[in-house]
């Protein structure tokens, strides 16, 4: 009787085992086939992160922080003042540059006035030379006439047709005319030399105007440079976005060109997915993508393939691998693929932050 009861129990157990095994095989087969079919038309990776524009806040000049107007994670708009540096020394430099410019302008006015006087002196000297020329012409006529009179009186004195006094008067008139002519010629030479000197002075003052103009342009550049440096003491937001951790304190000395915090733009975010090189064969720009972000489990974002990186991620590493430097071990490389959201206005897209992990599923054509 006991043997008869044991046999049906074993038979029932074997049937249950077979049924469970069949169900497991059917479930596993169905799952495997579905995954295989899915793999023929999709490429997936969980090596993906949200990315976005991040602008570092970098002072263009060195200085001490006098005002800090932002806090960690604060939203700012483009042009908002983030912090202000001490500007007292730069204001002094601006005043010095403006004073130097005013001095250069005054020097230019003085040079122009001197040039005007020099031109007037040249005109006066030239007029004096012309007057002397007229006097010389008149003196030459007088000298010629007195010479002729003297020659006649010299002949007449021989036969006593004129008196000795008349002869001597003619001789004196001749000598006086000749001396007057010599004096006028000397005056002309002196006036000519003076005219040349004044003309040279006028040329020199005219060239001084050009030099002063160049100095004024240099001083104007110095003023513009001082104003520009003074404007750099007010550090503003380059874009709309959220401020990162602010590693700045009041009174801290900032070095020009050094980044102290950043602003994450509130513009459209995108996904950078690192696909294995063996997954890229059928991938094309424009293919539809489903993105699942870990922070928003259960929500699928619609996106599309935007572009492919020009090189693998390893090539952009700080120390790129060099296979010729040692034993070669083949490692499957990954290529960054940029994926853009199809609906950037989605409220959840606005909540995405650079660095968030996600899973992407590319729908192959």
Q: Which ranges in the chain are annotated with CATH 2.40.30.170? A: 41-53+265-363
**Predicted local confidence at residue 183, as pLDDT:** 73
Mean of pLDDT over the chain: 82
Q: What is the CATH number of domain 59-86+233-258?
A: 2.40.50.100
Q: Which ranges in the chain are annotated with CATH 1.10.287.620? A: 88-229
**Predicted local confidence at residue 222, as pLDDT:** 93
**Predicted local confidence at residue 1, as pLDDT:** 44
| Residue ranges of the chain whose pLDDT lies below 70 | 1-13, 31, 33-39, 115-130, 132-133, 135, 143, 149-150, 153-154, 156-163, 167-168, 170, 178, 181, 184, 187-188, 191-207
Q: pLDDT tens for residues 178-232?
A: 677 677 677 667 766 666 666 666 666 666 777 888 888 999 999 999 999 999 9
**Predicted local confidence at residue 306, as pLDDT:** 94
**Predicted local confidence at residue 192, as pLDDT:** 66
Integer Cα distance of 349 and 303 in angstroms: 11
Task: From residue 221, give the alpha-carbon distance in Å to each of 59, 89, 160, 216.
Answer: 22, 18, 91, 9
Q: Which ranges in the chain are annotated with CATH 2.40.50.100? A: 59-86+233-258
**Predicted local confidence at residue 256, as pLDDT:** 92
Architecture of domain 41-53+265-363: Beta Barrel (2.40)
Q: State which fold the 88-229 domain adopts.
A: Helix Hairpins (1.10.287)
**Predicted local confidence at residue 71, as pLDDT:** 93
**Predicted local confidence at residue 179, as pLDDT:** 76
């Amino acid at each position: 009787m006991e043997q008869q009861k044991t046999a049906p129990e074993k038979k029932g157990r074997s049937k249950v085992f077979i049924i469970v095994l069949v169900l497991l095989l059917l479930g596993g087969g169905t799952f495997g086939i579905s995954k295989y079919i899915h793999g023929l038309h999709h490429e997936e990776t969980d090596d993906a992160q949200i990315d976005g524009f991040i602008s570092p806040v970098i002072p263009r000049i060195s200085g001490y922080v006098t005002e800090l107007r932002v806090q960690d994670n604060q939203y700012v708009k483009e042009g908002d003042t983030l912090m202000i540096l001490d500007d007292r020394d730069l204001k002094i430099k601006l005043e010095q540059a403006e004073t130097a410019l005013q001095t250069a302008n005054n020097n230019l006015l003085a040079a122009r006035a001197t040039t005007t006087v020099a031109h007037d002196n040249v005109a006066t000297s030239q007029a004096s030379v012309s007057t002397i020329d007229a006097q010389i012409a008149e003196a030459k006529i007088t000298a010629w006439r007195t010479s002729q009179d003297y020659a006649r009186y010299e002949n007449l004195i021989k036969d006593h047709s004129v008196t000795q006094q008349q002869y001597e008067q003619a001789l004196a008139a001749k000598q006086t005319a000749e001396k007057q002519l010599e004096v006028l010629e000397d005056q002309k030479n002196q006036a000519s030399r003076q005219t040349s000197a004044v003309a040279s002075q006028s040329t020199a003052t005219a060239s001084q105007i050009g030099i002063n103009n160049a100095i004024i342009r240099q001083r104007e550049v110095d003023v513009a440079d001082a104003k520009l440096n003074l404007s750099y003491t007010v550090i503003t937001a380059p874009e709309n976005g959220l401020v990162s951790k602010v590693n700045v304190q009041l009174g801290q000395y900032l070095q020009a060109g050094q980044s102290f915090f950043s602003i994450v733009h509130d513009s459209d975010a995108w996904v950078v997915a690192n696909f294995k090189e063996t997954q890229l064969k059928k991938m094309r720009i424009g293919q539809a993508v489903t993105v699942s972000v870990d922070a928003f489990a259960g929500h699928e974002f619609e996106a599309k393939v935007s572009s492919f990186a020009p090189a693998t991620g390893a090539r952009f590493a700080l120390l790129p691998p060099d296979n010729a430097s040692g034993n070669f071990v083949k490692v499957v490389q990954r290529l960054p693929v940029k994926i853009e959201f199809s609906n950037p206005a989605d409220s959840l897209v606005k909540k995405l932050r650079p660095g968030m992990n996600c899973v992407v599923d590319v729908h192959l054509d």
